[in-house]
Structure 1
Amino acid sequence: MLSLRPYQRASLDALYEHWQDGGGNGLIVLPTGAGKALAIAALVRETLERWPDLRICIVTHVRELVSQNFKELLGYWPGAPAGIYSAGLGRRDTHSRILFCGMQSVWNKVGRLGGFDLVIVDEAHLIPRSSDTSYGKFLSGLQAVTPDMRVVGLTATPYRLDSGRLDEGDGRIFERIVFEANVGDLIRDEYLSPLVSKATATSFDLTGVGKRGGDYIPGQLEAAVNHDDITQSAVSEMVALGQDRRAWLAFCAGVKHAEAVRDAIRARGLTCEAVSGETPSGQRDAIINAFRAGRIRCLTSVGVLSTGFNVPHVDLVALLRPTASTGLYVQQVGRALRRAPGKTDALILDYAGLVKAHGPIDAITARGKPKAAAKEGEEEVRAKECPDCRSLVALNTRICTTCGHEWIRDEAPRHDAVADAVHAILSLDGPPWLTVTGMSFARHTKPGSPDSLRAEFHCGVSTYRLWVCLEHGGTAARKACDWWRRMGGGEPPATVEEGLARADDLVWPHEIQVRQAGKFWEVVGYRFAAGEGWSSRAVRDFDEAA
């Protein structure tokens, strides 16, 4: 039987704990390629093993995902009592205890399907906030049949351009995000493929392109980018930089644009096909299967491959569609995150300026709302280009991690935006290591919550804090105990007072990594120097209001 990775296991445990604490609808955030289908399969099996009389619906928007999720469950749980209701797959099962559904096939079929105790929504970011939609009508209809029904969402991008975070605001379906895995962490742990990004010589002029619903108006956008000279320049660059890459995806601004890029690639002797929502489903399946088998080098697309597309050996993604949607940007880049035999990394060619506009994908987190788009006529720059190798790196980088170029102070671009100060750009390297020059502890008191142990890491003039929630219970306490053991303290203390008294048991890290999460900074990595213990530190015990 397939086994869960540690972060998949942690995501389900966090959901169960959320339920045990009286919570309702929860959201799990796993990056593209992190194995949402296996997490769904384990959730289904474990739920029915604990409550055999429940009925579960797994719903998503495209038949490919319906089929993938169904097959994943049978691989994880052979003989599972599962069926499919999807017109696109030619099946209309209605009485299965576990039912995998395509939204367009079932949104108005609640009467035929009956009630469900648990609904799992894959690609939950596609649920609009309005109740007058297919998802809204389907979920409200099921809720009328089973008032205590719970909904679980899984997504790589827990926000929408039109309504913000999925767990905030009026009309939200999900109470909160119960678990979020970070792209950078999974790359460093070798669950996802490293990404490298090159700045490109070709760029688009979007002057005069209007916006509707927060993103560019499609017709105006395509008219602005679909010019032969721009296309030829971009494709020449793709061919030069991608000659050693075996599977390319190019995301385009419209059907005609996708066809123009396809024709330009073919003219250079490479196999390429274009797919869009206008491509008949049978033809599209044949093209994708040929691409998966390696008979087609490149696919150009508009609107159909940014979600639900699983070809692990994709090792080049060309971003040719400007977008103000952080979610769409992450989904497109995510097509290259899966690992595959012989694949060392994936190259992201950013013609649309998306890396600079939205930042590194490992710095985009649901802990803070996606950054607001720059005002009309302003450019918000969140990355810079190495003048030697053209890699894109974080704004404050002084030495390029790709080629070793060293910036002098005057080379750094001037900008007013808040910098992604310690994030590398789409790379395995992650945040830089900071030398710890001192360490201190304190009791932290917050009204309405148990006290916590506050650890302070002093790195020169900067201090980074971490809250060790020994007395909170649940996931917070489990994380606190794991941290205490990781720091060499042995059996964790039960109280803050005991933790302060036993601070000498801990080992002082020589260096730490920090990453910005919304308004705050979090410590995400530790290095320990051999033979070093605690020295020159203060241990303090006092109450501090939150």
Structure 2
Amino acid sequence: MITLRPYQSDAIAAVKDYWSKGGGNPLVEMATGTGKSMVIAELTRSLLEEYPAMRVLMLVHVRELVQQNFMALLKVWPDAPAGIYSAGLGRRDAHHRITFASIQSVYRRADLLGERDLIHIDEAHLVPSKGEGMYRQLLDDIAAKSPHARVCGFSATPYRMDTGRLDGGTARLFDETVYKYGVAEGIEDGFLSPLVSKAGLTEIDVSNVQKRGGEFVPAQLENASDKITAQAVAEICEFGKSRRSWLVFCAGVKHAFNVRDAMRGRGISCETVTGDTPSGERDSILRRFKAGEIKCLTNAQVLTTGFDAPGVDLVVMLRPTLSTGLYVQIVGRGTRLSPGKENCLVLDYAGNIRRHGPVDAVGAESKTFNPDADTGKVSVDSVRAKECPGCQELIAINSITCKICGHEFPREEKPKHEAEAEKSVGILSGEKVGPQQVPVVDWRFHRHEKLGMPDSVRVTFIAGISEYREWVAFEHGMTRKQAACQWWSLHGGSAPYPKTTEEALLRTDELIMPTTISIRPNKQNRKHIDIVGRSFPARAELEAAE
């Protein structure tokens, strides 16, 4: 007997209540990793229990999800009258009361499938808004035979990749979102892995990349992204030292292979999958990656949906996007729980977090929200997240307190308009926009004490007559401790890492002082300066100094 989680039962109840009131085609929004397949399975079982003659079709776009959803039904209903129609799985069962199918295999087979009363669609954001494509062709053909049939959609991202929300617009297939269970709820309830994030010390420059249809032009985006490959890979390897399974999203096929080669050049086991990878080879690579035989996997536009690798604890965005749905799908690859996995680190070299905001805060939250007006896109210069100066976590632009390190932003300042917040000025008037690099002549370490909080290390960088500070906290919770360990490793400190502030202060002779730091004014309080990057002496210089 399978016991559903409370929110899964609530989702089923919401759909059935919607239909009991005469509703049409509902949409269920559930974050990646929260078990949509179990909701679909139990909803189907309970409906057929009430209406034994009902015929159900379950549609997805990849064979892996066909198998996954079919097995979920058998868990809740071992004797279910169900079959599979998928060429990729070598089965063509068309006459069962419940048929699980891949859309590529059945979009021209409406006559074979016969009348259907209910069509479930998983990953519903892939259904186009207009009457074209495989999904629309099949749905139109079924509607001709079964005009009473209803469609129930499930997605972690209620946005089409091209035209906005699934429940918005005159051509929408889904009438209303009847239930939502997001990333924030999943993490808070303990069903999803916590996420932590860092903006890369370098960012892909998209200022000269043209846009088409509300998204970056692919070829130009790939060229821009590849310019930072070497620098980004070097930093990924530093941040990833304590991470077991790295998943990297790239801007194109060539870019994905270039990142793979750069990883291999640093001794990291790495493979690549793209849309051109033969299915047998792809299956082998994915199996080895999930088994931990491959540490890093780069990809170009193929692992954003339908890919389940719970062990992923480092997601890297080397692919800028203006699509909210694509952004959420990418980040969602790291939210699944796995033994020994405490959280997933998201490294953003694409500016995606800044543009879209924290992944648990995107989309509609207001009762006055109008889905017709939500395009699911952001502008290139949109700013919906900011960096915490205490721990470099990316948090919502209007946050007053950082949930990770407790840093408090000035309460008297109101959140700035996006267009204002994006304008980053130098430390002096007239300087170029962006971080300023300053030479470090010395640094100092002190114990930092704050009432009610564990001690931390205050690091002071001396640059001419100016001083810049950051805090390293080995005794504050797991997330800040991990950040402290990454900081220690980045500055040349050896493992095992310090466990306490006292130990860290006694071992500062292990550390390598940066030759420069990159600084910029805090976007919420110009009186505060954030350290956003650093460079170190070359190995030859260090050996000469010794």
TM over 0.5: yes
Shift of 1:365: 3.1
Structure 2 residue corresponding to 1:284, chosen from 282, 285, 289: 282
* 1:526-541 matched pairs, under 5 angstroms: none
- Equivalent residue, structure 1, for 2:194: 194
Offset at 1:399? 4.4
Between stretches 404-413 and 143-152, larger displacement belongs to: 404-413
Match of 2:100 in 1: 100
Question: In structure 2, the residue corresponding to 1:96 is in which secondary structure?
Answer: coil
Quick one: distance in 2 between partners of 1:107 and 1:44? 22
Alignment correspondent of 2:405: 403
Across the aligned residues of Structure 1 and Structure 2, the Cα RMSD in angstroms comes to 2.0
The corresponding residue for 1:340 is 338
Matched ranges for 1:131-530 at <5 A: 131-227=131-227, 230-367=228-365, 368=369, 369=371, 370=374, 379-407=381-409, 415-416=417-418
Equivalent-residue separation in structure 2 for 1:69 and 1:99 (angstroms): 11
Percent identical pairs in the alignment equals 53
Which amino acid is the alignment partner of residue 402 of structure 1?
A: I
Structure 1 residue 401 displacement after superposition: 3.3
Matched residue, 1:9: 9
What is the aligned partner in structure 2 of residue 497 from structure 1?
none
Cα shift at 1:413: 9.0
- SS of 2:312's equivalent? coil
The count of residues paired between Structure 1 and Structure 2 equals 415
Q: Distance in 2 between matches of 1:304 and 1:113?
A: 29
Residue equivalent to 1:434: none
What are the Cα deviations for residues 224-276 of structure 1, in whole angstroms up to 9, with x where unaligned? Answer: 1112xx11111111111111111111000000100111111111111111001
Structure 1 residues 329 and 416 mapped into 2: Cα distance closer, same or farther (>3 Å)? closer
The offset of 1:304, in angstroms, is 1.0
Instruction: Measure how far apart 1:172 and its partner are.
Output: 1.1
Gaps of 5+ in 2: 422-546
Cα distance, 1:402 vs. partner? Answer: 2.8
Distance 2:364 2:414 in 1: 29
CA drift of 1:65 comes to 0.7
Distance between the aligned counterparts of 1:270 and 1:212, measured in 2?
A: 36
* SS in structure 2 of the partner of residue 336 of structure 1: coil
Contact 2:325 2:376 in 1 (8 A): no
Distance verdict in 2 for CA 1:197–1:106, change over 3 Å: same
Aligned to 1:40, the other structure's residue is in SS state helix
Residues 273 and 296 in structure 1, CA contact (< 8 A), matched pair in contact too: yes
Q: Which segment drifts farther, 218-227 or 143-152?
A: 218-227
TM-aligned CA deviation for residue 198 of structure 1: 1.0
Deviation at 1:393, TM superposition (A): 1.9
Per-residue Cα deviation, 1:62-94 (whole angstroms, up to 9, x for no partner): 111111111111122112111111111111111
The whole-number CA distance in structure 2 between the counterparts of 1:415 and 1:112 is: 56
The answer to whether the Cα contact below 8 Å between 2:317 and 2:347 also exists between their aligned partners in 1 is yes
Q: CA contact under 8 A between 2:165 and 2:375: conserved in structure 1?
A: no
TM-score of the superposed pair, with normalisation by structure 1: 0.73
| TM-aligned CA distance change 1:411 to 1:243, over 3 Å | farther
Distance 1:47 1:275, change over 3 A: same
Q: 1:263 to 1:19 in 2, by over 3 A?
A: same
Q: What CA deviation, in whole Å up to 9, does each residue of 1:472-521 have, x standing for no partner?
A: xxxxxxxxxxxxxxxxxxxxxxxxxxxxxxxxxxxxxxxxxxxxxxxxxx
Q: Report the counterpart of residue 57 of structure 1 in structure 2.
A: 57
Per-residue deviation at 1:11? 0.7
1:417 shift after superposition:
5.1
Residue deviations 1:36-75, cap 9 Å, x none? 0111110111111111111110001111111111111112
Give a deviation string over 1:140-167, Cα, whole Å, max 9, x none.
Answer: 1011111101110000111224322111
Residue type matched to 2:101 in 1? Answer: C
The structure-2 alpha-carbon separation of the partners of 1:411 and 1:386, relative to structure 1 and needing over 3 Å to count, comes to farther
* Stretches of structure 1 lacking an aligned partner (at least 5 in a row): 420-546
Q: CA offsets per residue over residues 190-218 of structure 1, 9 Å max, x none?
A: 11111001121010111221122211111
Contact 1:165–1:366, Cα closer than 8 Å, also in 2: no
Whole-Å Cα distance in 2 between the matches of residues 172 and 371 of structure 1? 13
Structure 1 CA distance for aligned equivalents of residues 72 and 175 of structure 2: 27
**For residue 522 of structure 1, what is the aligned residue in structure 2?**
none
Distance 1:14 1:135, change over 3 A: same
User: Is the Cα–Cα contact under 8 Å of residues 193 and 337 in structure 1 kept in the other structure?
Assistant: yes
C-alpha change, 1:20 and 1:272, in structure 2 (3 Å) is same
Asked if 2 retains the 8 angstrom alpha-carbon contact of 1:119 and 1:151, the reply is yes
Structure 2 residue matching 1:242: 3-state secondary structure: helix
Whole-angstrom distance in 1 between the partners of 2:133 and 2:417: 41
Paired letter, 1:299: L
Q: Distance in 2 between matches of 1:305 and 1:372?
A: 20
Letter in 1 for 2:32: T
Single out whichever of 202-211 and 132-141 deviates more from structure 2: 202-211
TM-score (norm: length of structure 2): 0.73
Residue 29 (structure 1) aligns with: 29
The CA distance in 2 between the partners of 1:324 and 1:23, in whole Å, is 33
Give the counterpart letter for 2:396 in structure 1.
Answer: A
What amino acid is the match of 1:381? V
- Alpha-carbon contact 1:60-1:66 (below 8 Å) kept: yes
**Alignment CA distance shift 1:19-1:409 (3 Å):** closer
Contact preservation (8 Å) 1:117, 1:150: yes
How far apart are the structure 2 equivalents of 1:16 and 1:372? 28
Distance 2:95 2:49 in 1: 19
